[in-house]
Amino acid sequence: MQRTPFYIKHLEAGAKMVDFAGWEMPIHYGSQLQEHHDVRTDAGMFDVSHMTILDLEGADAKPFLLKLLANNVDKLKESGKALYSCMLNEQGGVIDDLIVYYLTDTKYRIVVNAATREKDIAWMNEQLKPFNATLTFRSDLAMIAVQGPNARDKVLGMMPAHEVAIAEPLKHFYGAFINDWFIARTGYTGEDGFEMMFPATQAPKVWDALLAAGIKPIGLGARDTLRLEAGMNLYGLDMDETTSPLTSGLGWTIGWQPAERDFIGRKALEAEKAAGVQQRFVGLVLTGKGVLRSHMKVVCSQGEGETTSGTFSPTLKESIAFARIPAGTETECQVDIRGKLQSARIVKPNFVRFGKSVLDV
């Protein structure tokens, strides 16, 4: 079992530790529900050091990413700008979803998922062979996310003035280097905040400083309810190598233009589109009894589908889910919960933003 540089700090904070993709990680520190509300109303910190940080450098770094990723890195013109993308196989299935930060035309930083690390690095290195660039796994770095309406103010309040001058002006989905740190205004909760990467040797000191600033530790349990409320997919549940972005609510991440860019999986996606996409990715709000979970059967007017992620939303106080259902289905469906069909409303797969419901927006 692998451990992050914050492991001892988790134990000191009273964490209940669990196995997550081969990592010993905190599921909660006493109350998953309270941790969820802490992030929605104040600020919380998440150890995300199990995520994989990769640096791509070389003359062919951009051409490589133009081939590798479904989204178009040529859109990135300003240093620090981030792009969310899927990395596809030839069949259009999602190998992983990731964030790539543009530093220069010959240097990028990429963050991929923990559970797919070995698969991702092997795939990327195989595709890299014809290109003049190198991929470096930054195992020397730790990563922590601070999220919530007060997250930025609390983090900026810890910084000296010359660092604040770099971090404070960052727009959403931008990052910047501050000495040997990389700080980005990104996250996985639907709240504002920062994700920070820094030398792993500094992790205990950073944790203590964040605690002293009134930022509470948050476990994987609340991270999952927060991301689901925010309409953010989880790899392995909401998409994988058997599903395409077009059936995973990620059509917006495909960079179709220019038409001559031949990214991996493009031909398969074009064929799927031309034939008519058979499924749609939606949000569900349960109006019947029970709690929505993953892999529940969904009965629709056009046939059957399945929930991919589901939970009770602490913010909305309703049961919510993502689901993959037949195209053409209208606004209502039923979900099989323990052998009984319960009614659900079909909505956009996005429930909460900045602490507020977006269901009827």
Asked if the model's pLDDT at residue 285 lies above 70, the reply is: yes
pLDDT value for 361: 64
Whether the predicted pLDDT of 360 surpasses 80: no
pLDDT at 25: 98
What length does the chain have?
361
In words, the CATH class of domain 278-357 is: mainly beta
The pTM of this model reads 0.96
Of 3.50.30.60, 3.30.1360.120, 3.40.50.2000, 3.40.50.300, the CATH number of 7-48+140-229 is: 3.30.1360.120
Whether omega for the bond prior to residue 160 falls within 30 degrees of 0, making it cis, is: no
Q: What is the pLDDT of residues 14-52, one digit of tens each?
A: 999 999 989 999 999 999 999 999 999 999 999 999 999
What does 199-217 look like in DSSP terms, one character per residue? EGGGHHHHHHHHHHTTPEE
> Average pLDDT in the 101-115 region?
97
| Separation between Cα atoms, residue 207 and residue 218, nearest integer Å | 12
> How many other CB atoms are there within 10 angstroms of residue 267's CB atom?
13
Three-state SS sequence of 46-85: EECCCCEEEEEECCCHHHHHHHHECCCHHHCCCCCEEEEE
Which tokens go with 34?
Answer: 């309270």
Same fold for the pair 7-48+140-229 and 278-357 = no
Question: Mean pLDDT score of the chain, rounded to an integer?
Answer: 97
pLDDT at 330 exceeding the cut of 90: no
> Residue 63: what are its φ and ψ, rounded to 5°?
-55, -35
* pLDDT of the residue at 80: 98
The per-residue pLDDT for range 65-106, each reduced to its tens digit, is: 999 999 999 999 999 999 999 999 999 999 999 999 999 999
Q: Is the dihedral of CA 125, 105, 232, 264 positive or negative?
A: negative
Burial of 34 (0-12, 13-18, 19+ CB in 10 A): middle
- Percent residues over pLDDT 90 in the chain: 98
**Average pLDDT score over residue span 273-277:** 96
**Structural domain boundaries in the chain:** 7-48+140-229, 278-357
Torsion (CA) 107, 196, 80, 140 in degrees, nearest 10: -10
